[in-house]
Amino acid sequence: MTAAARPSASACPACAAVPAAEALAAPAAQAAPLMLSLPTAHCAVCMSTVERGLGAVPGVRSARVNLTLKRVSVEAEPEVTADQLIAVLDGLGYEAHELDAGSLNTTETDRRGRDLLMRLGVAGFAMMNVMILSIAVWSGAEAETRDMFHWLSAAIALPTVVFAGQPFFRNAWVALRAGRLGMDVPITLAILLAAGLSLYETIEGGRHAYFDAAVSLTFFLLAGRYLDFRTRAVARSAAEELAALEVPRASRLQDGDEVTVPIAELRVGDLVRVRPGARMPADGVVTEGRSELDRSLLTGESLPVPAGPGSTVSAGEVNLTGPLTLRVTAAGRDSALQRMADLVAVAESGRNRYTSLADRAARIYAPGVHLLSLAAFLGWLWVSGGDVRLAVNIAVAVLIITCPCALGLAVPAVVTAASGRLFRRGLLIKDGTALERLAEVDTVVFDKTGTLTMGTPVLRNLHDHSRADLEIAAALAGASAHPLARALADAAAAEGVGPAPLSDLREVPGRGIEGLWQGRRVRLGRAEWLGAEPVAATATWLDTGEGAPRAFTFADRLRPGAEAAVAALKAQGKRVLLISGDTEASVADLAARLGIAEWTAGALPKQKAARVAALAGQGARVLMVGDGLNDTAALAAAHVSISPASALDAARVASDIVLLGQDMAPIAEAAQVARRAVRRIKENFGVSLAYNLIAVPVAILGLATPLAAALAMSASSITVSLNALRLR
Amino acid sequence: MDVLAYLIPISLLLGGIGLAGFFWTLRKGQYDDPEGDARRILSDEWDDRPKP
């Protein structure tokens, strides 16, 4: 396998010169099917386009889209790389990100999901059969016939309750041992008491048995549990598995040979080679080579920084133009990357533990229900003059009728509907309470580079240059992987300017590109290299040998939807701030373009977090939107946080919501959907409360029959679910 | 009422077959992509047998 034999998988042409880069990528592809995230896929046409497109790539055996998870899994020959497929999908008009198949822990998630679904199915089956038998009793079966139906119901219901109720029993046991009364304790008590009392009544030949209630309780609550699980599983799998940006391997120089080793094995003092386009595996000092570094993810600086022998580099920075050799000064736990992660841990521990609405409801609900049913028991014991069987019957009826069927569905049904809707718009809710917190937000803090902007420059003054100059510049730029050069080449190509015929093209790392044009030396590169006067804006210079060097200036490209998102958030009455680590000029320019009045430039990671904490101290509920390592602490410190999928791993982990697509507009919509979702949750609590207000007195008076309980329970559960569906 | 002696076992048996069918579909992963499956019927690129 040589680099020339197939299209270069790496984005930069320079990598093609280093066949080892491909060799490094190949073993990863061999192990498992490739998984790509497809945030913009949404319809039948998308599925067939993607599957057909990928199927046509040589070496691909099969491709299958999963629209629910917005993912495609590709089985391919080992030499097919994810980058290649991403390029193909890009050509088809679909954005794609690689998912790390190695860390795809789907088996565990699948197993738990199937387990819940299986119990749900069993409970559903039992519920329907017991209901049919119960209808016979309700419609007036007497004596032996009734007893037979009761025994049949018992034969179906008891094993079902034991099997399907296990998730609740387990949670209740854990809660009790920790000395808490969660939602699961009253649930467990109600299910077990309903089943136990019914069994006793059946043995005694009594009139009322609540087998149907025990089973349908289990069914409805399992449905809520499953919805809850599903929302979280979809979010967790997609968020964690966006491929880690931290390089897992480094090439260490040993006795003049390059050896690929896992990063964990790097030691201080090792010599490491970093190719153009690759990330620094550890902190170090450059010993050899000249290049430029993209530090935007660490510091927010949008401009590449030159590096040469003696410059220090931090893990996570991207090497852009020339190969570098580093002497490692700090690896693993001591590296800058790790220190940043520690900062996050500190910020995270300081975050107020948010109590979800469901927990708050349960905290009032559980003791209330138990006291009520105890009161009913004691009251009837006293009234009836010691009829224990009657008192227990009524106490259990109270417990069953107040059992939080609707309450157990109230939150999961709404959260599922809301996050499903946001997922279709490209937002992934990672945390169950994120929606509730998002609904409270009144202040939004944006990061600049990589968040509001794409971190990729666009040429601004194309039309200031003559066509001849443009042709030369395009030809020179085409030879480099430097972001400014690429932007220039793209802009020229979009304008229909073809590259001039140049010879002897050569990249001078850290400086620029030079070549020969009609026997003249032409150069494109840094101001200092060409002896030009630097200007304030991001720029590269062209020297054609005649006249002074000419500047090509660039601006950072706005993320699509950024303007709309900022405008919509302001229209919702939220305070919008911009805090960036970039230079004052570029931050001011962007703030003016977006109409953000409050902005801060040159902020260090610690200052960002401190600013967010200060805002929170003033009583503001802060939504932080950021992508870089420098934002991570601030993301963790904020009330709720959003990061784009292109963000560094640590930032995505620290945030509650991940923006899957490039478009930023869904953020404003998310804030609105969150507010509506919280309103629905509260409505649902209201529905359950109203139903309890009517049903509880009936139960306490001893008038509740199993039929009444079944009707009320189903009616309230269905009302709550339908109310949640209004969000979709 | 003697008919119940036949009907009840039959109804339980039929229900049981349904339950077994549900377990089978669950094992086969037919609930992994409900959204996609709902759209896939619109695709005219059908195949004769389900993909593994």
Instruction: Please answer whether residues A391 and A377 qualify as being in contact, where contact means their C-beta atoms are separated by less than 8 angstroms.
Output: yes
Q: Contacts of residue B3 in chain A, CB cutoff 8 Å?
A: none
Q: Could you say which of B19, B23, B39 has the minimum Cβ distance to residue A67?
A: B39
Could you say which DSSP state residue A448 is in?
I
Phi-psi region of A456 (alpha: psi -120 to 50; beta: other; left: phi over 0): beta
Query: Does B22 reach chain A within 8 Å, measured CB to CB?
Result: yes
Query: Does A209 reach chain B within 8 Å, measured CB to CB?
Result: no
Neighbours of A29 (CB within 10 A): 22
Grade residue A13 by pLDDT with cuts at 50, 70 and 90.
very low
What is the domain class of A3-104 according to CATH? alpha beta
Active site residue A649: no
Q: Contacts of residue B11 in chain A, CB cutoff 8 Å?
A: 129, 132
Give the pLDDT score at A11: 37
Contacts of A198 (CB under 8 A, 6+ apart): A150, A153, A154, A157, A209, A210, A211, A214
Query: Does A114 reach chain B within 8 Å, measured CB to CB?
Result: yes
B8-45 pLDDT, tens digit each:
888 888 888 988 998 898 888 788 788 888 888 887 76
CATH number of A457-558: 3.40.1110.10
Task: Provide the token pair at A2.
Answer: 């040589």
As a dihedral over the C-alpha atoms of residue A169, residue A170, residue A172, residue A174, rounded to 10 degrees, the angle is 160
Alpha-carbon span A562 to A640, nearest angstrom: 19
Mean of the pLDDT values across residues A262-289? Answer: 80
The chain B residue lying nearest A115, using CA atoms, is B26
The chain-wide mean pLDDT, for chain A, equals 78
Run of H or E residues at A457:
strand A453-459
Give the pLDDT score at A33: 74
Q: Could you say which of B1, B27, B43 has the minimum Cβ distance to residue A145?
A: B1
CB pairs under 8 A between A and B: 53
Give the pLDDT score at B17: 92
Q: In this model, does residue A346 exceed pLDDT 70?
A: no
Neighbours of A324 (CB within 10 A): 28
A113-164 pLDDT, tens digit each:
888 888 999 999 898 888 888 888 888 777 788 888 888 889 889 999 999 8
Q: What pTM, to 2 d.p., does this model score?
A: 0.70
Best residue of A47, A69, A112, A133 to probe chain B, by most B CBs closer than 10 Å: A47
Angle at B20 between CA B16 and CA B25, to 5 degrees: 145
Could you say which DSSP state residue A500 is in?
P
Q: Contacts of residue B31 in chain A, CB cutoff 8 Å?
A: 117
A636-658 pLDDT, tens digit each:
888 888 888 777 666 776 778 88
Give the pLDDT score at A158: 92
Give the pLDDT score at A68: 77
Give the pLDDT score at A5: 37
β partners of residue A554: A459, A538
A67-119 pLDDT, tens digit each:
877 788 888 887 887 778 888 888 888 888 776 555 455 556 677 788 888 89
Grade residue A283 by pLDDT with cuts at 50, 70 and 90.
confident
Residue type, A544: T
Catalytic-role residue among A184, A212, A228, A447: A447
Grade residue A18 by pLDDT with cuts at 50, 70 and 90.
very low
Q: Tally DSSP H helices, then E strands, for chain B.
A: 2, 0
Q: In this model, does residue A26 exceed pLDDT 50?
A: no
Instruction: Please answer whether residues A308 and A270 qualify as being in contact, where contact means their C-beta atoms are separated by less than 8 angstroms.
Output: no
Alpha-carbon span A206 to A202, nearest angstrom: 6
CATH number of A267-330: 2.70.150.10
Query: Do the chains contact at B35 and A68, CB–CB below 8 Å?
Result: yes
Q: Where are the domains of chain A?
A: 3-104, 108-237+354-403+715-720, 267-330, 457-558
b (16+ CB within 10 A) / e for A330-344: bbbeebbbbbbbebb
A551-605 pLDDT, tens digit each:
888 877 788 888 888 899 889 888 998 888 777 877 888 888 888 888 888 887 7
Q: Contacts of residue A43 in chain B, CB cutoff 8 Å?
A: 39
ipTM above threshold 0.90: no
Best residue of A129, A131, A142, A150 to probe chain B, by most B CBs closer than 10 Å: A129
